[in-house]
Amino acid sequence: MSWLDPDGTHGKRRRLAILVLAIGAAAVVVTVSKDYPHEQPVVFRLPDTKRATLVASFTRVGETEASTGFTLELGDRAFRDVNHTIRLPNGDYIVTVEVRRERSSGHRDGGESQNQSPKETSVSERVTLSGSEVVVPVPARASE
């Protein structure tokens, strides 16, 4: 105790002020971190391992514009699962996935065919992103 603070209340007030400041800072960090983008691993489980183009977009539930999206050109591969990482805040999203494949028409000489049109599979699914891996199944097209 000093002659300026004979009963020690100044020290107690300082500790209390530091404690309140620390609790306030922690509350701000928790609140802001909810809206801060994190790396979110996403696995697209495709129906086959053939060459394709995968287009995906992520729209936060309640919003009209997509938050992010990407296009992947996929060659022939050994596994059906395609892993990709996106940066988005945690929350609920609608993921829209399109898988496009060129329909082969039997011409191998490089000539264009009138019957050649892309086959497309499209699916939308609600997902919750929380920093852990999310699997988005993409079913096979009903008519191949």
In a shared domain, residues 48 and 79: yes
What's the CATH code of the domain at 56?
2.60.40
The answer, as to whether pTM is greater than 0.85, is no
Task: Decide if 91 contacts 129 (C-beta within 8 A).
Answer: yes
Calculate mean pLDDT across residues 56-73: 94
What pLDDT is stored for residue 138 in this prediction?
92
Structural domain including 53 reads: 38-106+113-137
Determine which of 5-9, 96-100, 107-111 has the lowest per-residue pLDDT on average: 107-111
Tokens read off for 106: 């039997």
Q: What is the rounded (10 degree) CA torsion for 43, 85, 58, 48?
A: -30
Rounded percentage of the chain residues whose pLDDT exceeds 70:
78
What pLDDT is stored for residue 4 in this prediction?
57
> With bands split at pLDDT 50, 70 and 90, how would you rate the model's confidence at 104?
low
For the chain, give the mean pLDDT.
83
> With bands split at pLDDT 50, 70 and 90, how would you rate the model's confidence at 120?
confident
In a shared domain, residues 53 and 121: yes
pLDDT over 70 (residue 68): yes
Q: Is residue 90 part of a domain?
A: yes
Q: Is residue 75 part of a domain?
A: yes
